[in-house]
Structure 1
Protein backbone atom coordinates (compact mmCIF):
# COMPACT_ATOMS: atom_id res chain seq x y z
CA UNK A 1 0.00 0.00 0.00
CA UNK A 2 1.17 3.53 -0.78
CA UNK A 3 1.34 5.84 2.21
CA UNK A 4 0.57 9.54 2.05
CA UNK A 5 4.31 10.28 2.11
CA UNK A 6 4.60 8.58 -1.28
CA UNK A 7 2.52 11.36 -2.80
CA UNK A 8 2.75 15.10 -3.26
CA UNK A 9 -0.11 16.71 -1.36
CA UNK A 10 -1.64 19.55 -3.39
CA UNK A 11 -3.91 22.04 -1.64
CA UNK A 12 -6.51 24.23 -3.32
CA UNK A 13 -7.02 27.38 -1.22
CA UNK A 14 -9.39 30.31 -1.74
CA UNK A 15 -8.02 33.71 -0.73
CA UNK A 16 -11.20 35.43 0.38
CA UNK A 17 -10.73 39.21 0.19
CA UNK A 18 -8.50 38.92 -2.88
CA UNK A 19 -10.86 36.61 -4.82
CA UNK A 20 -8.01 34.40 -5.97
CA UNK A 21 -7.39 30.65 -6.00
CA UNK A 22 -4.04 29.45 -4.69
CA UNK A 23 -2.86 25.93 -5.48
CA UNK A 24 0.34 24.74 -3.82
CA UNK A 25 2.38 21.59 -3.38
CA UNK A 26 5.75 20.28 -2.24
CA UNK A 27 7.05 18.12 -5.08
CA UNK A 28 9.87 16.10 -3.51
CA UNK A 29 7.78 12.86 -3.57
CA UNK A 30 6.95 13.30 -7.27
CA UNK A 31 10.60 14.01 -8.07
CA UNK A 32 11.77 10.97 -6.11
CA UNK A 33 9.50 8.74 -8.20
CA UNK A 34 10.66 10.55 -11.34
CA UNK A 35 14.34 9.83 -10.65
CA UNK A 36 13.63 6.21 -9.75
CA UNK A 37 11.86 5.94 -13.12
CA UNK A 38 14.87 7.44 -14.93
CA UNK A 39 17.21 5.01 -13.18
CA UNK A 40 15.00 2.01 -13.98
CA UNK A 41 14.73 3.11 -17.61
CA UNK A 42 18.47 3.89 -17.88
CA UNK A 43 17.68 7.47 -18.88
CA UNK A 44 19.74 10.55 -18.13
CA UNK A 45 18.90 14.12 -19.17
CA UNK A 46 21.09 17.20 -19.29
CA UNK A 47 20.66 19.24 -16.11
CA UNK A 48 19.03 22.24 -17.82
CA UNK A 49 16.48 20.07 -19.64
CA UNK A 50 15.86 17.94 -16.58
CA UNK A 51 15.03 21.04 -14.52
CA UNK A 52 12.61 22.33 -17.14
CA UNK A 53 10.80 18.99 -17.32
CA UNK A 54 10.53 18.77 -13.53
CA UNK A 55 9.06 22.27 -13.32
CA UNK A 56 6.59 21.45 -16.08
CA UNK A 57 5.46 18.42 -14.07
CA UNK A 58 4.90 20.66 -11.04
CA UNK A 59 3.04 23.42 -12.83
CA UNK A 60 0.80 21.07 -14.79
CA UNK A 61 -0.10 19.30 -11.54
CA UNK A 62 -1.11 22.62 -9.97
CA UNK A 63 -3.16 23.45 -13.06
CA UNK A 64 -4.90 20.07 -12.89
CA UNK A 65 -5.96 20.76 -9.30
CA UNK A 66 -7.28 24.18 -10.33
CA UNK A 67 -9.46 22.48 -12.95
CA UNK A 68 -12.44 20.05 -12.69
CA UNK A 69 -11.70 16.47 -11.63
CA UNK A 70 -12.69 14.69 -14.84
CA UNK A 71 -10.08 16.24 -17.12
CA UNK A 72 -6.96 14.67 -18.58
CA UNK A 73 -4.57 17.37 -19.74
CA UNK A 74 -1.45 17.07 -21.91
CA UNK A 75 1.05 19.81 -22.70
CA UNK A 76 3.70 19.57 -25.41
CA UNK A 77 6.30 22.33 -25.66
CA UNK A 78 8.45 22.65 -28.77
CA UNK A 79 11.53 24.84 -28.20
CA UNK A 80 13.79 26.20 -30.91
CA UNK A 81 16.99 26.47 -28.83
CA UNK A 82 17.77 24.08 -27.43
CA UNK A 83 15.83 22.06 -29.99
CA UNK A 84 13.74 19.84 -27.75
CA UNK A 85 10.17 18.69 -27.13
CA UNK A 86 8.81 18.42 -23.60
CA UNK A 87 5.71 16.34 -22.97
CA UNK A 88 3.78 16.20 -19.70
CA UNK A 89 0.34 14.79 -18.99
CA UNK A 90 -1.79 14.17 -15.94
CA UNK A 91 -5.17 13.11 -14.69
CA UNK A 92 -6.90 14.14 -11.47
CA UNK A 93 -9.09 11.03 -11.23
CA UNK A 94 -6.01 8.80 -11.03
CA UNK A 95 -4.00 11.56 -9.32
CA UNK A 96 -1.00 10.89 -11.53
CA UNK A 97 1.45 12.94 -13.55
CA UNK A 98 4.09 11.78 -16.03
CA UNK A 99 6.31 13.21 -18.71
CA UNK A 100 9.28 12.82 -21.02
CA UNK A 101 11.54 14.91 -23.21
CA UNK A 102 12.77 14.34 -26.75
CA UNK A 103 16.01 15.68 -28.27
CA UNK A 104 16.20 13.49 -31.39
CA UNK A 105 14.08 13.91 -34.49
CA UNK A 106 12.61 17.20 -33.23
CA UNK A 107 11.44 19.42 -36.05
CA UNK A 108 12.81 22.96 -36.13
CA UNK A 109 10.07 25.49 -35.48
CA UNK A 110 10.19 29.22 -36.19
CA UNK A 111 9.04 30.00 -32.63
CA UNK A 112 8.53 28.39 -29.24
CA UNK A 113 5.07 26.85 -28.91
CA UNK A 114 2.98 25.14 -26.23
CA UNK A 115 0.30 22.75 -27.44
CA UNK A 116 -2.42 21.94 -24.91
CA UNK A 117 -5.05 19.20 -25.13
CA UNK A 118 -7.80 18.71 -22.56
CA UNK A 119 -9.88 15.54 -22.71
CA UNK A 120 -13.10 14.73 -20.86
CA UNK A 121 -14.59 11.30 -21.49
CA UNK A 122 -17.51 11.47 -23.91
CA UNK A 123 -16.67 14.96 -25.15
CA UNK A 124 -14.58 16.34 -27.98
CA UNK A 125 -11.02 17.23 -26.98
CA UNK A 126 -10.23 20.91 -26.49
CA UNK A 127 -6.98 22.11 -28.04
CA UNK A 128 -5.08 25.36 -27.95
CA UNK A 129 -1.68 26.61 -29.06
CA UNK A 130 0.26 29.26 -27.15
CA UNK A 131 3.35 31.13 -28.35
CA UNK A 132 6.08 31.27 -25.72
CA UNK A 133 8.58 34.08 -25.31
CA UNK A 134 11.33 32.27 -23.39
CA UNK A 135 12.46 28.94 -21.92
CA UNK A 136 10.99 29.42 -18.44
CA UNK A 137 8.14 27.06 -17.43
CA UNK A 138 6.99 29.63 -14.86
CA UNK A 139 6.26 32.07 -17.67
CA UNK A 140 4.74 29.32 -19.83
CA UNK A 141 1.86 28.65 -17.46
CA UNK A 142 1.29 32.37 -16.93
CA UNK A 143 1.07 32.84 -20.71
CA UNK A 144 -1.25 29.84 -20.94
CA UNK A 145 -3.65 31.36 -18.43
CA UNK A 146 -3.58 34.77 -20.11
CA UNK A 147 -4.20 33.39 -23.61
CA UNK A 148 -6.17 30.17 -23.15
CA UNK A 149 -7.87 30.50 -19.75
CA UNK A 150 -8.30 34.24 -20.43
CA UNK A 151 -7.59 35.26 -16.86
CA UNK A 152 -4.35 36.26 -15.17
CA UNK A 153 -2.35 33.86 -13.04
CA UNK A 154 1.03 33.94 -11.32
CA UNK A 155 3.41 31.03 -10.81
CA UNK A 156 6.04 30.82 -8.08
CA UNK A 157 9.06 28.65 -7.29
CA UNK A 158 9.70 28.57 -3.56
CA UNK A 159 12.48 26.86 -1.58
CA UNK A 160 12.56 23.10 -0.98
CA UNK A 161 10.76 22.20 -4.22
CA UNK A 162 7.56 24.02 -3.31
CA UNK A 163 5.56 25.43 -6.20
CA UNK A 164 2.53 27.74 -6.13
CA UNK A 165 -0.04 28.84 -8.71
CA UNK A 166 -2.38 31.75 -7.95
CA UNK A 167 -5.17 32.29 -10.47
CA UNK A 168 -7.61 35.17 -10.63
CA UNK A 169 -11.28 34.54 -9.88
CA UNK A 170 -14.16 36.97 -10.66
CA UNK A 171 -13.56 40.38 -9.02
CA UNK A 172 -9.96 39.45 -8.20
CA UNK A 173 -7.69 42.13 -6.74
CA UNK A 174 -5.53 42.23 -9.87
CA UNK A 175 -3.11 44.88 -8.56
CA UNK A 176 -2.38 42.68 -5.54
CA UNK A 177 -1.93 39.62 -7.78
CA UNK A 178 0.41 41.43 -10.15
CA UNK A 179 2.67 42.71 -7.38
CA UNK A 180 3.05 39.50 -5.39
CA UNK A 181 6.62 38.49 -4.58
CA UNK A 182 7.94 35.10 -3.48
CA UNK A 183 8.13 36.36 0.10
CA UNK A 184 4.53 37.58 -0.07
CA UNK A 185 3.36 34.17 -1.24
CA UNK A 186 5.21 32.41 1.59
CA UNK A 187 3.22 34.53 4.11
CA UNK A 188 -0.24 34.35 2.50
CA UNK A 189 -1.62 31.82 4.98
CA UNK A 190 -0.58 34.10 7.84
CA UNK A 191 -1.71 37.49 6.53
CA UNK A 192 -4.75 36.74 4.33
CA UNK A 193 -8.18 35.22 5.03
CA UNK A 194 -8.05 31.80 3.43
CA UNK A 195 -10.12 28.63 3.17
CA UNK A 196 -8.78 25.24 2.12
CA UNK A 197 -11.22 23.96 -0.51
CA UNK A 198 -9.76 20.51 -1.14
CA UNK A 199 -6.61 18.45 -1.00
CA UNK A 200 -5.47 15.98 -3.64
CA UNK A 201 -2.40 13.75 -3.75
CA UNK A 202 -0.32 13.16 -6.86
CA UNK A 203 2.50 10.82 -7.81
CA UNK A 204 4.72 10.37 -10.84
CA UNK A 205 3.15 7.38 -12.57
CA UNK A 206 2.53 6.46 -16.21
CA UNK A 207 0.88 3.04 -16.01
CA UNK A 208 2.52 1.76 -19.18
CA UNK A 209 3.32 -1.94 -19.51
CA UNK A 210 4.27 -4.40 -22.29
CA UNK A 211 0.67 -5.63 -22.39
CA UNK A 212 -0.63 -2.17 -23.31
CA UNK A 213 1.45 -2.14 -26.48
CA UNK A 214 0.28 -5.57 -27.70
CA UNK A 215 -3.00 -4.43 -29.36
CA UNK A 216 -1.04 -2.16 -31.71
CA UNK A 217 1.10 -5.15 -32.72
CA UNK A 218 -1.80 -7.55 -33.31
CA UNK A 219 -1.32 -7.42 -37.09
CA UNK A 220 1.98 -9.29 -36.65
CA UNK A 221 0.50 -12.19 -34.67
CA UNK A 222 0.65 -14.57 -37.65
CA UNK A 223 3.83 -13.10 -39.15
CA UNK A 224 6.14 -12.25 -36.23
CA UNK A 225 9.23 -12.50 -38.43
CA UNK A 226 8.26 -9.21 -40.10
CA UNK A 227 8.29 -7.48 -36.73
CA UNK A 228 11.28 -9.11 -35.04
CA UNK A 229 13.61 -9.43 -38.06
CA UNK A 230 15.43 -12.46 -36.57
CA UNK A 231 15.81 -10.76 -33.19
CA UNK A 232 14.73 -12.57 -30.04
CA UNK A 233 12.87 -9.56 -28.68
CA UNK A 234 11.74 -6.04 -29.49
CA UNK A 235 12.31 -3.02 -27.26
CA UNK A 236 9.48 -0.47 -27.23
CA UNK A 237 9.79 2.98 -25.66
CA UNK A 238 6.72 4.54 -24.07
CA UNK A 239 6.12 7.95 -25.70
CA UNK A 240 4.59 9.31 -22.48
CA UNK A 241 7.34 8.57 -19.96
CA UNK A 242 10.27 7.11 -21.90
CA UNK A 243 10.00 3.75 -20.12
CA UNK A 244 11.39 0.78 -22.02
CA UNK A 245 9.50 -2.50 -22.45
CA UNK A 246 10.53 -5.82 -23.96
CA UNK A 247 8.16 -7.65 -26.35
CA UNK A 248 8.88 -11.27 -27.28
CA UNK A 249 7.26 -13.35 -30.05
CA UNK A 250 5.39 -15.55 -27.60
CA UNK A 251 3.70 -12.44 -26.14
CA UNK A 252 1.92 -11.84 -29.46
Structure 2
Protein backbone atom coordinates (compact mmCIF):
# COMPACT_ATOMS: atom_id res chain seq x y z
CA UNK A 1 0.00 0.00 0.00
CA UNK A 2 1.42 3.38 -0.99
CA UNK A 3 1.98 5.75 1.91
CA UNK A 4 -0.09 8.95 1.55
CA UNK A 5 1.56 12.30 0.99
CA UNK A 6 1.65 14.85 3.80
CA UNK A 7 -1.64 16.32 4.87
CA UNK A 8 -2.79 19.43 3.03
CA UNK A 9 -3.29 22.40 5.35
CA UNK A 10 -6.39 24.48 4.62
CA UNK A 11 -6.38 28.02 5.95
CA UNK A 12 -9.42 29.86 7.29
CA UNK A 13 -8.87 33.64 7.19
CA UNK A 14 -11.09 36.54 8.24
CA UNK A 15 -11.01 39.53 5.90
CA UNK A 16 -11.41 42.50 8.22
CA UNK A 17 -13.51 45.51 7.18
CA UNK A 18 -15.11 43.32 4.47
CA UNK A 19 -16.64 40.89 7.00
CA UNK A 20 -15.94 37.90 4.76
CA UNK A 21 -14.38 34.50 5.41
CA UNK A 22 -11.61 33.40 3.04
CA UNK A 23 -10.80 29.68 2.95
CA UNK A 24 -7.92 28.57 0.75
CA UNK A 25 -5.58 25.68 0.07
CA UNK A 26 -3.03 24.25 -2.34
CA UNK A 27 -4.24 20.84 -3.50
CA UNK A 28 -1.22 19.17 -5.10
CA UNK A 29 -0.83 16.78 -2.13
CA UNK A 30 -4.46 15.69 -2.22
CA UNK A 31 -4.33 15.29 -6.02
CA UNK A 32 -1.15 13.18 -5.72
CA UNK A 33 -2.89 10.78 -3.32
CA UNK A 34 -5.93 10.74 -5.60
CA UNK A 35 -3.85 9.68 -8.61
CA UNK A 36 -1.99 7.06 -6.55
CA UNK A 37 -5.39 5.68 -5.58
CA UNK A 38 -6.49 5.52 -9.22
CA UNK A 39 -3.29 3.72 -10.20
CA UNK A 40 -3.57 1.22 -7.34
CA UNK A 41 -7.09 0.20 -8.34
CA UNK A 42 -6.70 0.42 -12.10
CA UNK A 43 -9.09 3.35 -12.43
CA UNK A 44 -9.12 6.07 -15.06
CA UNK A 45 -11.68 8.78 -15.75
CA UNK A 46 -11.94 10.73 -19.02
CA UNK A 47 -10.16 14.10 -18.83
CA UNK A 48 -13.26 16.26 -18.34
CA UNK A 49 -14.69 14.01 -15.61
CA UNK A 50 -11.31 13.72 -13.90
CA UNK A 51 -11.07 17.51 -13.68
CA UNK A 52 -14.63 17.81 -12.41
CA UNK A 53 -13.93 15.33 -9.63
CA UNK A 54 -10.67 17.06 -8.66
CA UNK A 55 -12.40 20.45 -8.58
CA UNK A 56 -15.21 19.00 -6.46
CA UNK A 57 -12.72 17.51 -3.99
CA UNK A 58 -11.11 20.94 -3.61
CA UNK A 59 -14.36 22.88 -3.22
CA UNK A 60 -15.85 20.48 -0.67
CA UNK A 61 -12.61 20.55 1.35
CA UNK A 62 -12.81 24.34 1.52
CA UNK A 63 -16.50 24.23 2.42
CA UNK A 64 -15.80 21.72 5.21
CA UNK A 65 -13.23 24.14 6.64
CA UNK A 66 -15.81 26.92 6.60
CA UNK A 67 -18.18 24.72 8.60
CA UNK A 68 -18.05 23.34 12.19
CA UNK A 69 -15.46 20.60 12.85
CA UNK A 70 -18.09 18.01 13.77
CA UNK A 71 -19.76 17.79 10.37
CA UNK A 72 -19.36 15.03 7.80
CA UNK A 73 -20.63 16.24 4.43
CA UNK A 74 -21.40 14.37 1.22
CA UNK A 75 -22.24 15.99 -2.11
CA UNK A 76 -23.73 14.21 -5.12
CA UNK A 77 -24.25 15.88 -8.49
CA UNK A 78 -26.64 14.00 -10.78
CA UNK A 79 -25.86 15.35 -14.25
CA UNK A 80 -27.29 14.75 -17.68
CA UNK A 81 -25.81 14.73 -21.20
CA UNK A 82 -23.70 12.74 -20.57
CA UNK A 83 -25.32 11.35 -17.45
CA UNK A 84 -23.08 10.76 -14.45
CA UNK A 85 -23.23 10.85 -10.68
CA UNK A 86 -20.31 12.77 -9.18
CA UNK A 87 -19.84 11.98 -5.48
CA UNK A 88 -17.50 13.57 -2.91
CA UNK A 89 -17.48 13.33 0.88
CA UNK A 90 -15.24 14.41 3.72
CA UNK A 91 -14.85 15.18 7.41
CA UNK A 92 -12.75 17.71 9.31
CA UNK A 93 -12.65 15.51 12.43
CA UNK A 94 -11.42 12.50 10.46
CA UNK A 95 -9.24 14.69 8.23
CA UNK A 96 -10.20 13.07 4.93
CA UNK A 97 -11.70 13.86 1.57
CA UNK A 98 -12.63 11.23 -1.01
CA UNK A 99 -14.90 10.71 -3.98
CA UNK A 100 -15.65 8.97 -7.24
CA UNK A 101 -17.73 9.15 -10.41
CA UNK A 102 -20.50 6.74 -11.39
CA UNK A 103 -20.98 6.35 -15.15
CA UNK A 104 -23.09 3.18 -15.38
CA UNK A 105 -26.73 2.48 -14.50
CA UNK A 106 -27.41 6.18 -13.90
CA UNK A 107 -30.94 7.53 -14.11
CA UNK A 108 -30.82 10.50 -16.46
CA UNK A 109 -32.66 13.49 -15.00
CA UNK A 110 -34.36 16.17 -17.08
CA UNK A 111 -32.23 18.75 -15.20
CA UNK A 112 -28.96 18.76 -13.25
CA UNK A 113 -29.50 18.14 -9.55
CA UNK A 114 -27.22 18.65 -6.55
CA UNK A 115 -27.71 16.79 -3.27
CA UNK A 116 -26.01 17.68 0.01
CA UNK A 117 -26.08 15.48 3.13
CA UNK A 118 -24.65 16.73 6.42
CA UNK A 119 -24.18 14.40 9.39
CA UNK A 120 -23.28 15.38 12.95
CA UNK A 121 -22.67 13.02 15.90
CA UNK A 122 -25.41 14.62 18.02
CA UNK A 123 -28.18 13.87 15.51
CA UNK A 124 -29.60 10.55 14.35
CA UNK A 125 -30.86 12.01 11.09
CA UNK A 126 -28.65 13.69 8.49
CA UNK A 127 -29.59 17.11 7.16
CA UNK A 128 -30.49 16.87 3.49
CA UNK A 129 -30.88 19.51 0.81
CA UNK A 130 -31.62 19.22 -2.90
CA UNK A 131 -31.37 21.86 -5.57
CA UNK A 132 -31.17 22.30 -9.30
CA UNK A 133 -27.78 23.49 -10.60
CA UNK A 134 -26.69 25.13 -13.81
CA UNK A 135 -23.65 24.08 -15.81
CA UNK A 136 -21.02 21.41 -15.23
CA UNK A 137 -18.37 23.43 -13.37
CA UNK A 138 -18.07 22.56 -9.64
CA UNK A 139 -16.49 25.96 -8.99
CA UNK A 140 -19.68 27.63 -10.21
CA UNK A 141 -21.89 25.26 -8.20
CA UNK A 142 -20.51 26.67 -4.94
CA UNK A 143 -22.19 30.07 -5.28
CA UNK A 144 -25.45 28.40 -6.30
CA UNK A 145 -25.29 26.08 -3.29
CA UNK A 146 -24.59 28.90 -0.83
CA UNK A 147 -27.37 31.06 -2.23
CA UNK A 148 -29.97 28.31 -1.97
CA UNK A 149 -28.83 26.17 0.97
CA UNK A 150 -26.57 28.36 3.13
CA UNK A 151 -28.71 31.47 2.57
CA UNK A 152 -25.71 33.77 2.07
CA UNK A 153 -23.46 34.77 -0.82
CA UNK A 154 -20.19 32.95 -1.47
CA UNK A 155 -17.86 32.54 -4.42
CA UNK A 156 -15.22 29.96 -5.35
CA UNK A 157 -12.04 30.68 -7.29
CA UNK A 158 -9.72 28.42 -9.26
CA UNK A 159 -6.23 29.92 -8.88
CA UNK A 160 -2.80 29.10 -10.28
CA UNK A 161 -0.70 26.08 -9.26
CA UNK A 162 -3.66 23.96 -8.05
CA UNK A 163 -4.71 26.56 -5.48
CA UNK A 164 -8.40 27.10 -4.77
CA UNK A 165 -10.25 29.55 -2.55
CA UNK A 166 -13.77 30.36 -1.45
CA UNK A 167 -14.93 33.63 0.05
CA UNK A 168 -18.18 33.57 2.00
CA UNK A 169 -20.13 36.50 3.35
CA UNK A 170 -20.46 36.94 7.11
CA UNK A 171 -22.95 39.27 8.88
CA UNK A 172 -22.64 42.84 7.57
CA UNK A 173 -20.38 41.72 4.72
CA UNK A 174 -19.35 44.08 1.96
CA UNK A 175 -21.40 42.37 -0.72
CA UNK A 176 -20.42 44.81 -3.45
CA UNK A 177 -16.74 44.05 -2.83
CA UNK A 178 -17.43 40.30 -2.84
CA UNK A 179 -19.35 40.49 -6.12
CA UNK A 180 -16.57 42.31 -8.01
CA UNK A 181 -13.66 40.10 -6.90
CA UNK A 182 -11.62 38.28 -9.53
CA UNK A 183 -9.01 35.52 -9.23
CA UNK A 184 -6.02 37.87 -9.28
CA UNK A 185 -7.47 39.95 -6.44
CA UNK A 186 -8.14 36.82 -4.37
CA UNK A 187 -4.59 35.52 -4.94
CA UNK A 188 -3.18 38.89 -3.77
CA UNK A 189 -5.69 39.58 -1.02
CA UNK A 190 -3.21 39.81 1.85
CA UNK A 191 -1.52 42.76 0.12
CA UNK A 192 -4.74 44.68 -0.43
CA UNK A 193 -6.83 43.79 2.62
CA UNK A 194 -6.36 43.41 6.35
CA UNK A 195 -6.60 39.70 7.17
CA UNK A 196 -6.45 37.51 10.24
CA UNK A 197 -5.65 33.77 10.19
CA UNK A 198 -8.32 32.01 12.27
CA UNK A 199 -7.31 28.35 12.00
CA UNK A 200 -5.88 25.64 9.77
CA UNK A 201 -7.29 22.17 9.18
CA UNK A 202 -5.45 19.14 7.74
CA UNK A 203 -6.91 16.97 4.96
CA UNK A 204 -5.75 14.11 2.75
CA UNK A 205 -7.35 12.00 0.06
CA UNK A 206 -8.39 8.91 2.00
CA UNK A 207 -11.45 6.68 2.22
CA UNK A 208 -10.70 4.10 4.92
CA UNK A 209 -12.61 1.34 3.18
CA UNK A 210 -11.55 -2.26 3.85
CA UNK A 211 -12.83 -5.68 2.85
CA UNK A 212 -14.43 -6.01 6.31
CA UNK A 213 -16.41 -2.82 5.73
CA UNK A 214 -17.45 -3.84 2.22
CA UNK A 215 -18.71 -7.34 3.08
CA UNK A 216 -21.77 -6.23 5.13
CA UNK A 217 -23.12 -4.59 1.96
CA UNK A 218 -23.55 -8.11 0.56
CA UNK A 219 -25.40 -9.45 3.62
CA UNK A 220 -28.71 -9.77 1.78
CA UNK A 221 -27.06 -12.18 -0.71
CA UNK A 222 -25.98 -14.66 1.98
CA UNK A 223 -28.98 -16.92 1.37
CA UNK A 224 -28.74 -16.74 -2.45
CA UNK A 225 -25.04 -16.80 -3.39
CA UNK A 226 -25.70 -18.40 -6.78
CA UNK A 227 -27.62 -15.31 -7.89
CA UNK A 228 -24.73 -13.12 -6.81
CA UNK A 229 -21.84 -15.16 -8.22
CA UNK A 230 -23.66 -16.66 -11.24
CA UNK A 231 -21.17 -19.14 -12.77
CA UNK A 232 -18.09 -17.63 -11.10
CA UNK A 233 -16.29 -18.43 -7.87
CA UNK A 234 -15.47 -14.78 -7.22
CA UNK A 235 -16.68 -11.30 -8.03
CA UNK A 236 -15.24 -7.81 -7.78
CA UNK A 237 -16.99 -5.17 -5.68
CA UNK A 238 -16.30 -1.43 -5.82
CA UNK A 239 -16.37 0.82 -2.77
CA UNK A 240 -19.33 3.18 -3.19
CA UNK A 241 -17.27 6.10 -1.84
CA UNK A 242 -13.94 5.84 -3.68
CA UNK A 243 -14.37 3.05 -6.29
CA UNK A 244 -11.61 0.89 -4.78
CA UNK A 245 -11.95 -2.73 -5.98
CA UNK A 246 -12.21 -5.77 -3.71
CA UNK A 247 -12.19 -9.43 -4.72
CA UNK A 248 -15.00 -11.38 -3.03
CA UNK A 249 -15.12 -15.19 -2.99
CA UNK A 250 -18.06 -17.44 -2.11
CA UNK A 251 -16.60 -18.49 1.21
CA UNK A 252 -16.40 -14.83 2.31
CA UNK A 253 -20.18 -14.32 2.13
Superposition TM-score, scaled by structure 1 size: 0.94
Alpha-carbon shift at residue 81 of structure 1 (Å):
1.8
1:156 counterpart residue number:
157
1:161-180 CA-partner distances (Å, limit 9, x unpaired)? 00000000000011110001
What pairs up with 1:117-128 in 2 under 5 angstroms? 117-123=117-123, 124-128=125-129
Write out aligned runs for 1:50-129 (5 A).
50-123=50-123, 124-129=125-130
Which range moved further: 47-56 or 102-111? Answer: 102-111
Q: 1:181 to 1:216 in 2, by over 3 A?
A: closer
Q: Which residue of 2 aligns with 1:198?
A: 199
Q: CA deviation at 1:80?
A: 1.3
Q: What stretches of structure 2 of length at least 5 have no aligned partner?
A: none
> Does the residue aligned with 1:6 lie in a helix, a strand or coil?
coil
Shift of 1:225: 4.8
Cα distance change, pair 192–246 in 1 and its aligned pair in 2 (3 A): same
2:23 matched residue in structure 1: 23
CA distance in 2, matches of 1:88, 1:53: 8
> Do the aligned residues in 1 keep the contact of 2:12 with 2:65 (CA within 8 Å)?
yes
4+ runs of 1 displaced by more than 6 Å? none
Q: Cα deviations across residues 105-131 of structure 1 (Å, max 9, x unaligned)?
A: 111111111011111123121111121
Tell me the equivalent position of 1:184. Answer: 185
- The answer for unaligned runs of 5 or more in structure 1 is none
Q: Which residue of 1 aligns with 2:8?
A: 8
The size of the alignment, in residue pairs, is 251
- Aligned-residue CA RMSD (Å): 1.9
